[in-house]
Amino acid sequence: MKIFIKSNMFVIQTNSSILSIDWFGDFLLSHSKDTIFLPMSVMIFLDEDIIDERKKFLIRLAKFYSNQHQLDYERFVRNFLRFLNRPIKIEFKQKNIIRGDVEVYLDALSPKDVKILLQHENPWIITHFVSQLNRFITEFDNRRLFLDASDDRSKSRLDRVLKKRNFLFFNMKFTYSKNFLTVLFSEYTQNYQQQQERYQSYSQSQSKSQSQSQNNSYNFNFHHENSFNSPNYYQDATLAHHYRVLELQYNASLKEVKANYRKLAKRYHPDRVHNKNQSIVELYTKKFQEIQTSYQFLKEYLEER
């Protein structure tokens, strides 16, 4: 394990062994709504409401690190706590990735409620789901979470998240409850059937020519049943987003990514506006974090190609 400061971030460079350390997983779970998963790293941003959790984590990390390297614990605690407010990045540096299978069970409890259950507790995977489905999560713990799937947006988001089966050192294997799609989209099915019935009734009341004309304007297409089998646009959409953040054309080279990152990081660094009002500082900080995230994502993606 290596720990250092880089690009305004507190970086922990390690291997997959930390996945089994309970307090690492607990820290990640407590910050699940402030976490971003990149191809082979995790970024955890600051949440002032749970600053004590971050402090406890850095103290435990200092103890773990000092014991591992037989160094002065007190010194590391002091140094680590100096960076309490910095984003934390966990980097995994392993060329040969062996992913372990994780069984994930999905159950549509109703057209509005979805339950995701892991065969075994895994805070890393739960945090991944929560970070992706944040606004729709109603409850979660180390092994399960419940999702409010009452609108199109939540169903579409769930569809996209479930397409990403591999991340970090995990390979998720999904099992669906019987009639999962039928239950989840039953309201749409009923609406569709009602629309079809109204259309048929309308058609019968019109003349043949009028019916033919109206047929074009009453062309109902129901795609919801096939939603979870649609093509995977997740990666392309994600890449396009990160290229836009760095003000680059899609498929720009790593050299161009690095050049624009340096330019934008300098332009939007919070230190440039430290003497301005708080709203401007927050705006620059948010933009700077977004630039950092997109740069790290594209850098890792392009280096692995």
* Domain residue limits at 262: 234-304
Segment holding 35, helix H or strand E: strand 35-38
Task: Report the distance separating Cα 127 and Cα 145, nearest Å.
Answer: 10
Check whether residue 105 and residue 178 sit in a common domain: yes
Report pLDDT for 233: 38
Check whether residue 104 and residue 179 sit in a common domain: yes
Question: Phi and psi for 168 in degrees, rounded to 5?
Answer: 50, -120
Q: What is the pLDDT of residues 129-148, one digit of tens each?
A: 998 888 899 999 889 999 99
Residues 6+ apart with CB under 8 A from 227: 155, 156, 159, 181, 185
Taking residues 76-102, report their average pLDDT.
87
Report pLDDT for 219: 38
Report pLDDT for 214: 46
- B/e letters for 182-197, b = 16+ CB within 10 Å, e = fewer, are ebbbeebbeebeeeee
Check whether residue 210 and residue 286 sit in a common domain: no
Whether the per-residue pLDDT at 231 is higher than 70: the answer is no
Whether the per-residue pLDDT at 220 is higher than 50: the answer is no
Residues 6+ apart with CB under 8 A from 6: 89
Identify the CA nearest to 64 among candidates 132, 12, 108: 12
Check whether residue 176 and residue 214 sit in a common domain: no
Report pLDDT for 288: 87
Check whether residue 116 and residue 84 sit in a common domain: no
Angstrom CA distances, 21 to 27, 107, 122, 250, stand at 10, 29, 11, 38
Check whether residue 83 and residue 106 sit in a common domain: no
Q: What is the pLDDT of residues 168-185, one digit of tens each?
A: 899 999 998 888 877 877
Say which range, 53-57, 178-182, 284-288, 296-300, has the weakest mean pLDDT: 178-182
Q: Which two tokens stand for residue 103?
A: 């069984």
Check whether residue 194 and residue 239 sit in a common domain: no
Which CATH number does the domain housing residue 281 bear? 1.10.287.110
Where do we find the tokens 């649609």? 230
Task: Report the distance separating Cα 171 and Cα 290, nearest Å.
Answer: 27
The pLDDT > 90 percentage for the chain reads 26
Q: What is the pLDDT of residues 234-269, one digit of tens each?
A: 456 678 888 888 988 888 899 999 999 999 988 888
Give the pLDDT band of residue 229 (cuts 50, 70, 90).
very low
Q: Which of these three, 58, 74, 92, is where a domain ends?
A: 92
Mean pLDDT of the chain: 80
Number of structural domains (the chain) is 4
Give the pLDDT band of residue 58 (cuts 50, 70, 90).
very high
Check whether residue 115 and residue 177 sit in a common domain: yes
Give the pLDDT band of residue 155 (cuts 50, 70, 90).
confident
- Reduced to 3 states (helix: H, G, I; strand: E, B; else coil), residue 72 is coil
Check whether residue 127 and residue 200 sit in a common domain: no
Task: Report the distance separating Cα 248 and Cα 259, nearest Å.
Answer: 10
Rg (C-alpha) for the chain, rounded Å, is: 24
Q: Between 231 and 51, whose confidence is greater?
A: 51
Whether the per-residue pLDDT at 10 is higher than 90: the answer is yes
Contact 71, 65 (CB under 8 A): yes
* pTM listed for this prediction: 0.60
Q: Which two tokens stand for residue 75?
A: 């010194």
Q: Which of these three, 34, 62, 92, is where a domain ends?
A: 92
Q: Which of these three, 46, 73, 92, is where a domain ends?
A: 92
